[in-house]
Amino acid sequence: MNNNAGQAIRLKKEILVRIIKAFLSEDFKEQTRLIPYDMRPKGMEVPYRCCIYKERAIIKDRTIAGLGFAIEEDNETTLLSTYAQKALERTEISNKNLTVLQAACKGCNTNRIYVTDLCQGCVARPCESSCKFGAISIVNGRSVIDDSKCKKCQMCVNACPYNAIVKITVPCEEACPVGAIKKDETGFASIDHEKCINCGRCTAACPFGAVHEKSQIIDILKEIKSDKKVIAMIAPSIAGQFPGNIYQLKTAIMKAGFDDVYEVAQGADITANNEAKEFIERMEGDQKFMTTSCCAGYNQLIEKHLPQIKPFVSDTKTPLFYTAEIVKQEHPDAVTVFVSPCVAKRAEGFDNPNVDYVMNYEELGALFVAKKIQIMDCEETKYTKEASKQARNFGYTGGVAESVKASLKDEDKIKPCIISGLTKESIKQLKQYATNGECANGCNLVEVMCCEGGCIGGNATINSVRTAKKQIDNFTANSENIPKIE
């Protein structure tokens, strides 16, 4: 969950609610145009920025992203009503899922190691002696860092007894594990979509909420308004996000306009069984380890940055792949909408012809608010096919490995290694496994989750990881165990 930008999340949700209400009104274009003025009326005390006009400009940009457009392509003169009309006319969605709101971006100082006024000019000079690159010298009795020599290793930070040396970071750059977001020539953040793995870490890290997902909510609402059958597919981690249980949630989603709801945990059962079979085959073929393949962000990392580990990655498809396949087989003409915890699944959905749209948890929550749907007031509606306990646990760290393990008659064959969150350090760890052809400590099944805590830690989740896991555990306590493979 985006813990660093709580107020930015509330702003985003309010704007999404207003966009949905505008769509449901008699004048979508005009109601959309008025969003910045309704949220920041004349005479209102400005809560965040220098003036009401700056606030309105940022709200306009957030609304443009909420309508599904990139801020980078905005010329500042186009009215929100025009964007609303374009959203109504749009027939295709973009595969570039993130956009940077330059009006909201602070243009943070460059990452660097900096000596503060706390420096005491001590005799021992531990900072100078700790630096292997000769970047620190003493000038007028104070430590000074030569930025051209500094490698940002932080040895001096750790050595200083007064904590006088600090690392200044750009939150979005620091959070990105693959260096896909940097300041461009304008001094503001810019995303290199060729490098980006859609992990969503930058959206969660920016305290100004300047990195934003491009929503598909209007496209989905258009389909709901049409005569087409629209089916929602909910990720396993959703059980930890909303009040009530997933049977009440199914009723609420159908009240919101969907014709049916499928648990993606149904596909997770297939994934777990297939990965278990594949694991046995690979181990019998003398391969030392196999990694899971259900995380969309990890799969993009492999394709764009870590091809050397590809021979060790399971060929099994994701739970979403199998669920969408089932839905399209049973309802060939239906529009499918995956309800997701993260931006990475938008990329997976774009590449899968059986997935038409992706809606995240924040957007679903906004839809409930706009339509005044209370989940706790809804009756329970059962699913056509119930998923196993292990499949419903796919959403948190360790859940995938446990599901694969539980699928085997001899569970002791699996010795799992869990990577909870893709970081620069964990990527180095995976590279090392690929280079050595084996894992440390004799592990043979590596579960990789892009987000810390698993999918319940995705950038578009609503609850904290701890609360979400507790809710899922309470819900799955009485679920049936996954069947063993033959």
**Pairing mode, if any, of strands 260-263 and 290-291?**
unpaired
Q: What is the pLDDT of residues 219-253, one digit of tens each?
A: 999 999 998 999 999 999 999 999 999 999 999 99
Residue 2 — very low, low, confident or very high, per pLDDT cuts 50/70/90? very low
Interval 473-485 mean pLDDT: 91
d(CA 410, CA 415): 12
Which H or E run contains 130?
helix 126-130
Interval 39-49 mean pLDDT: 84
Partnered with residue 183 across adjacent β-strands are 189
What would the two tokens of residue 252 be?
Answer: 């609420």
Q: Is the separation of the CB atoms in 150 and 137 below 8 Å?
A: no
d(CA 211, CA 343): 12
Q: What is the pLDDT of residues 428-477, one digit of tens each?
A: 999 999 999 999 888 999 999 999 999 999 999 999 999 999 999 999 99
pLDDT of 393 > 90? The answer is yes
Concatenated DSSP letters for 264-317? THHHHHHHHHHHHHHHHHHHHTT---EE----HHHHHHHHHT-GGGGGGB--PP
* Contact partners, residue 185, CB within 8 Å, separation at least 6: none
d(CA 457, CA 141): 47
Alpha-carbon dihedral of residues 99, 100, 102, 107, nearest 10 degrees? -170
Residue 47 — very low, low, confident or very high, per pLDDT cuts 50/70/90? confident
The backbone region for 394, taken as left when phi is positive above 0, alpha when psi lies in -120 to 50, beta otherwise, is alpha
* Contact partners, residue 272, CB within 8 Å, separation at least 6: 390, 391, 394, 400, 403, 404, 406, 407, 482
d(CA 115, CA 167): 9
Which H or E run contains 254?
helix 246-255
Return the pLDDT at 111: 81
Interval 153-167 mean pLDDT: 93
Determine phi and psi for 313, rounding to 5 degrees: -90, 135
Return the pLDDT at 1: 44
What would the two tokens of residue 468 be?
Answer: 């979400």
Return the pLDDT at 4: 45
Determine phi and psi for 371, rounding to 5 degrees: -100, 5
Return the pLDDT at 7: 79
pLDDT of 96 > 90? The answer is yes
The 8-class DSSP code of residue 412 comes to G
Higher local confidence (pLDDT), 448 or 286: 448
Return the pLDDT at 238: 97
Question: Tokens 């300041």 belong to which residue?
Answer: 183
Cα–Cα distance list, 80 to 18, 21, 37, 55, 73 (Å): 13, 15, 12, 15, 14
Return the pLDDT at 45: 82
What would the two tokens of residue 484 be?
Answer: 């063993």
pLDDT of 68 > 80? The answer is yes
d(CA 344, CA 142): 47
> What's the chain's average pLDDT?
93
Interval 360-376 mean pLDDT: 97
Q: Is the separation of the CB atoms in 223 and 72 below 8 Å?
A: no
HSE-up (13 A, CA, CB side) for residue 169: 13
d(CA 461, CA 1): 5
The 8-class DSSP code of residue 484 comes to P
Interval 411-437 mean pLDDT: 95
Name the residue among 187, 196, 217, 222 with its Cα closest to residue 66.
217
Which region among 36-50, 322-336, 463-477 has the lowest average model confidence (pLDDT)?
36-50
Which region among 124-128, 136-140, 146-150, 181-185 has the lowest average model confidence (pLDDT)?
181-185
The 8-class DSSP code of residue 1 comes to -
d(CA 63, CA 482): 43
Partnered with residue 191 across adjacent β-strands are 181
Question: Tokens 């496994």 belong to which residue?
Answer: 433
Return the pLDDT at 440: 84
pLDDT of 486 > 70? The answer is no
Interval 94-112 mean pLDDT: 87
Interval 64-85 mean pLDDT: 95
User: What domains are defined for the chain?
Assistant: 3-105+199-214 (no CATH), 112-168 (3.30.70.20), 220-476 (3.40.950.10)
Return the pLDDT at 5: 54
What would the two tokens of residue 60 be?
Answer: 């306009």
Residue 3 — very low, low, confident or very high, per pLDDT cuts 50/70/90? very low
Residue 283 — very low, low, confident or very high, per pLDDT cuts 50/70/90? very high
